[in-house]
Structure 1
Amino acid sequence: MTVTRLNPPDLFDSGPTGFSQIVLREAGGRRTIHLAGQVAWGPDRKIAGSGDLESQVVESLRNIERGLARGGAALDDVSAMRIYIVESHIGQHEAITRGLKAVFGDSPPAATWIGVPCLASGDFLVEIEPNPVEIPLPDRA
């Protein structure tokens, strides 16, 4: 079994904060991709869509997409996810739905929406955490 921890330049560097953005586990011809929960922060730690829940949903999902690509997977490989929504915005389900549909169209993964008092920064309205994604290892010919 091989474990690789990544903090790629297209996601914010979480290493100084004490966690990896991506952990790849390879064993038995399979790769499992574990992603940290993603928010609407760019690599420069600037918020995308300040105060705009729909924009933050979309940017969080784009960060998931970037992270999965680093492991050789895509958003279509996500089977389920947890969406943490700041309680002050939990009633804005239309904005969340629009953000999800903008990215997944009519083929979304399973999801659980969870209201939370706050997230790591007061600027964050949503954090999305995908279940681990498992894909076959690429052929190494």
Structure 2
Amino acid sequence: MWKIYKRAIGDLLIWRIAARERGFSKSDSLFHSTNGGCLLPGKGVWAFKTFRFSLGTLEAPVITGTERNGWTVTLNWENGIDCPKASASDQVFVGYFYDTLRRSPCLLRDIPARRGDENVTIEIPSGDQPEGTPLHLYLFFGDSELARFSPSEYTQV
């Protein structure tokens, strides 16, 4: 799962930074110690709610609402910018799984929204999935230098 996940996040150093902050020597060790109980060998994620797409020291998002229309999804959150580890300019990221592809994490990263916007409407690629396929979404933030990230927050639509 680690190799597939790494392909999904590309050059983002989410787990390397989190591992360093927590005293782990390897990012994959932290990923597996965090998510190992959420994975079934050969099947992928079974416990989507407890799976972590991201870890970090920025303030975590608090999702206040979701709406779905086809493959268009709107997420609303509390911006948390009055917290010391949050900025209105933090970048928005959304990781996701199709319910039918539990071994295939995906990431939307070039989203033109920021934490201070308190909402975003995104288009999830259909991925040749049937209309209405449940989506498991993970909202998280990254700072402007992509040197710090927040823990992800889960929702399903």
TM-score, length of structure 2 as denominator length: 0.29
Structure with the largest fraction of helix: 1
Q: What is the TM-score with the length of structure 1 in the denominator?
A: 0.31
